[in-house]
Amino acid sequence: MERYTVLLADDEEEVIHVIMKKINWEEIGFSVIGYANNGVKALEMVEELQPDVVMTDIKMPYMDGMELSNRIKDLYPGTKILLFTGFDEFEYAKEAVHLEVEEYVLKPVNSGELTEVFTQLKSKLDQEISEKRNVEILEKYYVDSLPLLQANFYSSLIEGRIPEEEIPGYLTDYRISFTGPYFCCLVIHTSSGQVPKDMNPVLLSASVQRQAREHLMEKWQAKCFSYLGNTILIPQLESENQVSELTDACDRFCKYARRIIGAVVTVGIGQVCRDILELCQSYENAREAVSYRVIYGTCRAINMKEIAPRKTVPFGQGNDSELSELFKMIRLGSDKDVERAVDQYLEHLSFPEKSLQQHHIEIMELISALYRFSTNNDLTADDFSKDMGKLYTSIFDLEPDVLKSWLTEKSLSFREQIILARNKSTKSFVAKAIEFVKNNYGDEELSLDGICEYLGVSNSYFSTIFKKETGSAFITYLTDYRMDRAKSLLTTTEEKSYIIAKHVGYTDPNYFSYVFKRRFGVSPSNYRRENAK
């Protein structure tokens, strides 16, 4: 029996307790995971707990039920909302219909009526989940995916196999519209190792693709197709900066897929480009971003521009797969992975089977590739700062064991420098965020969106890195900083509480008092009285 979660929101705590006691939640297939006494707290709990249903009063302090419903529907459209209130007003009811609210319940709450409402809602949720998990529907959807001609075109496009002069003909013949003006590639990877019981991994991947179409295609005018076991999306953007909003939308989609169909999904986001011929580079970026899930975790979106210390340029036609694997391990692998990749590359050289001239050519290609890699990633290598002619001559004469030691040493040095650069980059923007809070905490408009816009990164990436570096979410950090400043002002000045509230970024003195008491356990006036000199 599927059990769903409910979050209750009402500023009258006794009403919440009556509702919790009147209903046999377990019997009707629900469980109450928490309650909030104002809209702001309720939204915080929705973001943290991701409930299936939110039952909220309309009239609440700080954020009323209508605004709360609007925010939930915007950020979490799959969440069901029930409104209950003692104010039977037609305009509220009309707006509730506009918000696609499930039910409008009047106080005092009748247990029989409320049980019936939740019983019907349970049937609706069961039906929606059943449709998403129904094997026959998934099989039909998998068979009836994108037309073959369009899928072949998109695949060839990201492989870079379509000549520029042939593009207009394909777009016309296959009725494909690319208006842009900006594009990028998304690689949606579904784990085949973490699959719900009795679910075929192929069908699960098809389900993820269907949900991606429903949640991402229309908003971003995206092209969607399957390629090498992944779902690929080509979104169209109005500006380059819109990629941060896209990253946050993909991050919410990953969490939605995990909660609704049990899929472990990672979305890689490639570089933004203006010409669809550059989508092959964006696709390679997105594939590399997905590989970073071993560092940053699954069930999230990873924007390659945000995590790479510096964009890496492709090596060129002369580099073989073993050399590409070595550079990949330098960026993503462990010391052991790097050493293993060095061994594989040197085995590929096959010294006894090649002439001295062939060996010299490959050594020249190796040194050139190492030089380009170090330059593109701002890495320091003493050997490359010397006369390159002498370097080539000295490497040509190295015996196999000595060459292995030299290449291993250089590769491990590059890996260490990339790790330091990546850590320095993340710590740098966290430090900028902290400094920004210090200088702007009194701005009532200061928010997560504002700091991310200032730094030029997506909400999801910033939130992950900020919490990793500081141990707390950004909003929690901002609130604590404001409360610490307020505490200091209360004991060092004689300003009124409402003046201090405004000084630390709160226009509503009542809400300031509520937050202060939640942090320190006493009201501002009592705190000043208890700590008066």
Which helix (H) or strand (E) segment holds residue 322: the answer is: helix 321-332
Kindly tell me if the per-residue pLDDT of 352 is higher than 50: no
Whole-angstrom Cα distance, residue 22 to residue 17? Answer: 9
Buried b (16+ CB within 10 A) or exposed e, 72-109: bbeebeebbbbbbbeeeeeebeebbeeeebbbbeeeeb
pLDDT digits over 31-84, tens only? 999 999 999 999 999 999 999 999 988 888 889 888 898 899 889 988 999 888
Average pLDDT value for residue range 288-314: 71
Distance (Å) of CA 434 to CA 79, 421, 430, 453: 33, 20, 6, 15
Structure tokens, 117? 């409402």
pLDDT-derived band of residue 314, with 50, 70 and 90 as boundaries? very low
Distance CA 45, CA 66 (A): 17
Q: Is the model's pLDDT at 112 over the cut of 90? A: no
* Distance separating alpha carbons of residues 104 and 85, to the nearest angstrom: 8
| Band of residue 455 on the pLDDT scale cut at 50, 70, 90 | confident
User: 486 near 512, Cβ under 8 Å?
Assistant: yes
Q: How many other C-beta atoms can be found within 10 angstroms of the C-beta atom of residue 227? A: 14
Give the burial string for 434-450 (b: 16+ CB within 10 Å, else e).
Answer: bebbeeebeeeebeeee
Range name among 101-110, 139-148, 184-193, 483-492 with the lowest pLDDT average = 139-148
Give the residue, 109 or 519, on which the prediction is more confident.
Answer: 519
At 351, is the pLDDT very low, low, confident or very high (cuts 50, 70, 90)? very low
Q: Of 276-290, 366-380, 489-503, which range is least confident?
A: 366-380
Higher per-residue pLDDT: 90 or 61: 61
Mean pLDDT of 10-21: 87
The pLDDT assigned to 504 comes to: 93
Give the residue among 429, 475, 413, 435 at the shortest CA–CA distance from 306: 429
Of the two residues 162 and 393, the one the predictor is more confident about is 162
For the segment 370-395, the average pLDDT, to the nearest whole number, is 71
Full DSSP string of 59-82: --SSS-HHHHHHHHHHH-TT-EEE
Q: Between these two residues, 407 and 235, which has the higher pLDDT value?
A: 235
Task: Using a pLDDT cut of 70, give the percent of the chain over it.
Answer: 84
Q: Confidence band (pLDDT; 50, 70, 90) for 103?
A: confident
Q: What is the DSSP string of 111-139?
A: HHHHHHHHHHHHHHHHHHHHHHH-HHHHH
Contact 502, 53 (CB under 8 A): no
More confident site: 286 or 59: 286
Q: Does residue 147 carry a pLDDT above 80? A: no
* pLDDT at position 252: 94
Task: List Cα–Cα distances, 524 to 55, 481, 517, 532, in angstroms.
Answer: 32, 15, 7, 12
The model carries a pTM of 0.46
Average pLDDT estimate for 175-196: 89
pLDDT 10s digits, 186-240:
999 998 878 888 889 899 999 999 999 999 999 999 999 999 989 999 999 999 9
Quick one: which of 407, 262, 257, 406 has its CA closest to 329? 407
Task: Please tell me the predicted confidence (pLDDT) of residue 194.
Answer: 81
Name residue 433's amino acid.
A
Rounded Cα distance between 187 and 51, Å, is 28
Mean pLDDT across the stretch 157-174? Answer: 90
Q: Residue 486 corresponds to which tokens in the numbers above?
A: 């307020």
Q: Strand 53-57's sheet: what is its strand order?
A: 30-36, 4-9, 53-57, 80-85, 103-106
- Asked if residue 306 lies in contact with residue 457, where contact means CB atoms within 8 angstroms, the answer is yes
Give me the residues paired with residue 182 across strands.
Answer: 237
* Residue 516 pLDDT exceeds 60: yes
**pLDDT the model gives residue 319:** 45
Q: Look up residue 109 and give its DSSP letter.
A: P
DSSP label at 464?
H
The pLDDT, as a whole number, for residue 482 is 93
* pLDDT greater at residue 323 or residue 512: 512
- Please tell me the distance from the alpha carbon of residue 508 to that of residue 501, in angstroms, as a whole number: 8
End-to-end CA distance of the chain: 62
Average pLDDT, the chain: 83
pLDDT for the residue 279? 94
Question: What would the pLDDT profile of 239-269 be if each residue is shown by its tens digit?
Answer: 998 999 999 999 999 999 999 999 999 999 9
Pick the range with the lowest mean pLDDT from 31-35, 133-137, 196-200, 527-531: 133-137
3-class state of residue 310 by DSSP: coil
